[in-house]
């Protein structure tokens, strides 16, 4: 996956290379076709749904691809997470009208600040939190956790004044 999209060309090449027969190759291609167009709520959800679909339609292909990627990425095998793993989504999302108004009007926030960097307005807290706690916090302002469409946007934020805190 790259930027929330299945890298079709790479997967197709691997499916052809790893197929032991024409029948298996055809099954692999059908699975890629069926699973490659799945869209979830966000990039993480999409990746989870595509993996789940692949495990249902072509489990041997998925296993071989994961093993190939694992072997090529490091000399030591890396244990993979359980296939039932889902993106953290078990946080409470309740928008607080007062906090939303504070954000809109650039009012001070506890343990943080509202800043604009790279043309985007952020709520930046100066404390570390778990993903679910941070997601709930952002949601209380009517926002989501920051994510980046591409590397350039991520670098822009890292080089901004936010990263000085």
Q: What is 28-97 written as a DSSP string?
A: HHHHHHHHTT---SSHHHHHHHHHHHHHHH-HHHHHHHHHHHHHHH-SS--PPPPTT------S-----H
Least confident interval from 23-32, 55-64, 66-75: 66-75
Query: 64-79 pLDDT, tens per residue?
Result: 777 766 554 454 544 4
Mean pLDDT of 157-162: 74
Mean pLDDT of 125-151: 82
Tokens at 127, concatenated: 């404390």
What's residue 98's pLDDT?
Answer: 93
Which pTM does this prediction carry? 0.44
Mean pLDDT taken over the chain: 76
Domain boundary assignment for the chain: 8-73, 97-164
| pLDDT above 70 for 100 | yes
């Amino acid at each position: 996956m790259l930027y929330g999209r299945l890298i079709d060309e790479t997967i197709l090449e691997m499916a052809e290379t790893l197929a032991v027969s024409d029948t298996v190759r055809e099954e692999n291609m059908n699975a890629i076709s069926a699973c490659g167009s799945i869209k979830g709520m966000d990039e993480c959800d999409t990746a989870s749904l595509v993996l789940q679909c692949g495990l249902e339609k072509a489990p041997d292909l998925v296993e071989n691809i994961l093993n190939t990627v694992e072997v090529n990425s490091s000399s030591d095998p890396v244990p993979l997470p359980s296939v039932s793993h889902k993106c953290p989504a078990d946080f409470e999302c309740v928008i607080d009208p007062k906090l939303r108004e504070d954000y809109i009007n650039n009012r001070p926030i506890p343990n943080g600040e509202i800043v604009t960097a790279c043309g985007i307005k952020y709520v930046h807290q100066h404390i570390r939190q778990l993903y679910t706690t941070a997601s709930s916090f952002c949601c209380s302002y009517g926002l989501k956790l920051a994510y980046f469409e591409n590397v350039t946007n991520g670098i822009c934020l890292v080089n901004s004044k936010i990263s000085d805190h």
